[in-house]
């Protein structure tokens, strides 16, 4: 992992539409076993785009998605294994602490927690 990513709280995750246009989204992330992981609602466009074309680009970013370093090309996939997904959520909880738990609490209240999925990013 690059030094820029090691200290970053967010990455700008770029996914690609079928026509090749980029769609960027700032997301929380965590590094595990040499790969990066993030989570999102499973009904979002980025999930559909990753399933259609695994191509992604990432860069360390601020909360608004403004890149703070260079871009890396890679691939993304939906994490299917429940044990791996649990490890991702535990690592995110450790990294983001109270903010993570607050968002998880409100997602549970709103019925959105069951729609949450983890994404693996190999860069």
Average pLDDT on 47-57 reads 96
- Percentage of residues of the chain with pLDDT beyond 70: 99
Residue matched to tokens 């997904």: 85
Reported as a pLDDT band with limits 50, 70 and 90, residue 114 is confident
The domain total for the chain is 1
Range of the domain at 79: 3-122
Structure tokens at 113: 């927690």
* Beta strands across the sheet bearing 72-78: 22-28, 10-16, 55-61, 72-78, 116-122, 35-41, 30-32
Q: How many residues does the chain have?
A: 123
Query: What are the phi and psi torsion angles at 97 (to 5°)?
Result: 55, -130
CA-based nearest residue to 89, from 100, 75, 77, 102: 100
User: What is the reported pLDDT for 2?
Assistant: 74
CATH of the domain at 15: 2.30.110.10
């Amino acid at each position: 992992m690059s030094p820029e990513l090691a200290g970053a709280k967010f990455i700008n995750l770029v996914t690609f539409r079928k026509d090749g246009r980029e769609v960027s989204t700032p997301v929380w992330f965590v590094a595990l076993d040499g790969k990066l992981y993030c989570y999102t609602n499973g009904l979002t466009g980025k999930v559909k785009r990753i399933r259609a074309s695994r191509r992604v680009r990432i860069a360390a970013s601020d909360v608004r998605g403004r890149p703070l370093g260079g871009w890396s090309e890679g691939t993304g996939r939906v994490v299917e294994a429940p044990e791996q997904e649990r490890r991702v959520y535990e690592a995110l909880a450790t990294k983001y602490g109270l903010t993570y738990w607050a968002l998880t609490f409100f997602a549970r209240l709103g019925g959105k927690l069951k729609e949450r999925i983890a994404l693996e990013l190999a860069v």
